[in-house]
Amino acid sequence: ILFFVICCLLLYICNTLVCFECWLHEGRVSPLEEVELTFALKQQNVDKLQELLALVSDPDSQHYGKFLTLEEVASLVRPSQLTEKVVQTWLQSHGVTRCHTVLTRDFLQCSMTVQVAETLLSGAEFHRYRRDGQTIVRSSSQYSVHDDVSQHLDFVGGVLRFPPRGKEISKGWTGARHLKSFHLGVTPATLRARYNLTAADVGTAANNSQAVAQFLEQFYHPADLAEFMSLFAREFKHLTEVERVVGTQGGGKAGLEASLDVEYIMSTGANISTWVFTNPGRHESQEPFLQWMLLLSNMSAVPWVHTISYGDDEDSLSTCYMNRINNEFMKAGVRGISMLFASGDSGAGCRHLPKEQNVFRPSFPASSPYVTTVGGTSFKNPFKVTYEVTDYISGGGFSNVFAMPDYQVSAVKAFLKGKQSLPPESYYNASGRAYPDMAALSDNYWVVTNLVPIPWVSGTSASTPVVGGILSLINDQRFVKGLPSLGFLNPRLYKLQGTGLFDVTEGCHLSCLDDKVEGQGFCAAPAWDPVTGWGTPNYPDLLTALGKD
């Protein structure tokens, strides 16, 4: 109990002392400096896109697996001629001519001076901010767009949103945890033993591929990957190089999270072609996550599985922005692409409202109904490959923005009506999209970064690429049989009702440190729960369940 309270206190301190994570204001930006803004044009047929995603993702549908090409997606959602004309005329009337679009024509990226940008976006006032050696240019105030134009835009990127701070994923600082028990560490061999992968379970299909996406100035080093495979992957066939880097790798030291992502997707989804999407040559006004979304809308051939360890508080983002990002996830899903996001490392989270009761704090994109969200677990016995329990940091809960999708209604209602105790209803939105969907080990990984093996690296940033690699192996077997990729997994995953997964039924995650919940969020339970989803992969059984149509 003391250990749990200490961990809750640490989370509370991290969440409340946000002033230390603020960007340092450096002053107004010169009117003649350039910014690059992203205009998200209103799409057509979004309802049809949603219907189509449901059909191609439902194994009981005759349209299951009949995915679209990017060109077909473009013909479905591309903005109307009127929208394109209104936006382009508006920009050109202000002298903005240096623009480029994407194949789906629903984004425009344009360069212009700050003076022009502030004229276009009434109320905007661009300033420069600095944090941890990084500078960005953002508006310090809200903007508006003329009514005649605003009806043709979802949002303008590069104006208001500040990048979240890269989270510390090495939990060596949680001294209480390591006083309680010492773990020998999770390696590829540990994962293969727990999830029943043999040395023969590696990729063989030539048309298979997987990817990780890196934001927040995180980079991996090829030498680290080679060293990691040499140390930890000798027992099975594997690749030692990333096939393709999309973007620009930065110099200097490797990032711990970037190293973790690449090393574990390539050792779990072994011998499968892997791409890394990384920050392009970043302009101060660009948003790296948005840049990645644009790349997907402009590349006809991309990997089948993408794992992303990135998120932000739902309440820090506008609904129109999140809705549009959901549209982008749907565009990926109808192409047969599986999107996996880490559920986060703050448990249920906590939003401290002045003079009001605390509430849980969901994360986005983890709360998107159109991605598969991955939570975290720990071994019950730290000295053996045993059954798993909840990792107390595993993100999970209920969206305050998105309604619960049909595919999970029965599972979530069963949890809410179960025998386990629940937090007070005032802390969460029981009718919202519930997450995570599944989980994997997220505690005490070994990672090689800057040629040094580092233990005790933890977080759902670890579990997500592991699940991604396992889904890539299942895709591999499907491709050998001439079947399509898994695509958007959730509708099929929930119909399995836990088949092919180890159910996690012990442990709770963190939440608000107050007198009502006392730092405890939700707890694991039989079947689905908002801490570990349906559980962790049992590869042979999951392959049997998902490897056929």
Report pLDDT digits (tens) over 58-70.
999 999 999 999 9
Dihedral sign of CA atoms 246, 251, 257, 263 in order: positive
Active site residue 257: yes
Output the pLDDT for position 216. 65
Q: Return d(Cα 248, Cα 276) in angstroms, integer.
A: 10
Catalytic residue among 267, 343, 461, 511: 461
Q: Return d(Cα 154, Cα 332) in angstroms, integer.
A: 19
Q: Return d(Cα 27, Cα 20) in angstroms, integer.
A: 19
pLDDT digits (tens, 9 = 90+) for 352-402: 987 778 999 999 999 999 999 999 999 998 888 999 999 999 999 999 999
Under a CB-based contact definition with an 8 Å cutoff, are residues 501 and 536 in contact? yes
Output the pLDDT for position 107. 95
Output the pLDDT for position 183. 52
Sorted by sequence, the CB contacts under 8 Å of residue 157 that are 6+ apart come out as 37, 38, 39, 40, 287, 290
Catalytic residue among 118, 201, 224, 257: 257
Under a CB-based contact definition with an 8 Å cutoff, are residues 375 and 463 in contact? yes
Nearest CA-CA partner of 151 in 12, 42, 30: 42
Catalytic residue among 36, 106, 261, 391: 261
> What is the chain's alpha carbon radius of gyration, rounded to the nearest angstrom?
23
State phi, psi for 161 to the nearest 5 degrees.
Answer: -75, 125
Under a CB-based contact definition with an 8 Å cutoff, are residues 37 and 158 in contact? yes
Dihedral sign of CA atoms 494, 495, 496, 497 in order: positive
Q: Return d(Cα 12, Cα 350) in angstroms, integer.
A: 8
Mean pLDDT along residues 3-21 = 37
Output the pLDDT for position 140. 78
Q: How far is CA 319 from CA 161, 316, 325, 326, 364, in A?
A: 13, 10, 10, 10, 11
Under a CB-based contact definition with an 8 Å cutoff, are residues 509 and 390 in contact? yes
135: pLDDT strictly greater than 60: yes
By DSSP bridging, strand 99-101 and strand 107-113 are antiparallel
Q: Return d(Cα 41, Cα 48) in angstroms, integer.
A: 17
pLDDT digits (tens, 9 = 90+) for 390-439: 999 999 999 999 999 999 999 999 999 998 899 999 999 999 999 999 99
116 residue type, one letter: V
Task: Report the interhelical angle of 70-77 vs 319-333 (nearest 10°).
Answer: 140
Q: Return d(Cα 474, Cα 275) in angstroms, integer.
A: 18
Output the pLDDT for position 109. 93
The percent of residues in the chain predicted with pLDDT above 70, rounded, is 90
Mean pLDDT along residues 262-291 = 82
Q: Return d(Cα 72, Cα 48) in angstroms, integer.
A: 13
Task: Report the interhelical angle of 288-296 vs 319-333 (nearest 10°).
Answer: 30
Q: How far is CA 33 from CA 120, 504, 507, 540, 543, in A?
A: 15, 54, 53, 57, 54
Active site residue 235: no
71 residue type, one letter: E
Q: Return d(Cα 39, Cα 108) in angstroms, integer.
A: 5
The percent of residues in the chain predicted with pLDDT above 90, rounded, is 73
Output the pLDDT for position 2. 39
Q: How far is CA 434 from CA 114, 371, 406, 429, 536, in A?
A: 41, 12, 11, 9, 17
- Give the angle subtended at the CA of 395 by the CAs of 389 and 399, to the nearest 5°: 130
Output the pLDDT for position 437. 98
Nearest CA-CA partner of 459 in 354, 360, 311: 311
Where b means 16+ CB within 10 Å and e means fewer, 242-279 reads: beeebbebbeeebbbbbbbbbbbbbbbbbbbbbbbbbb
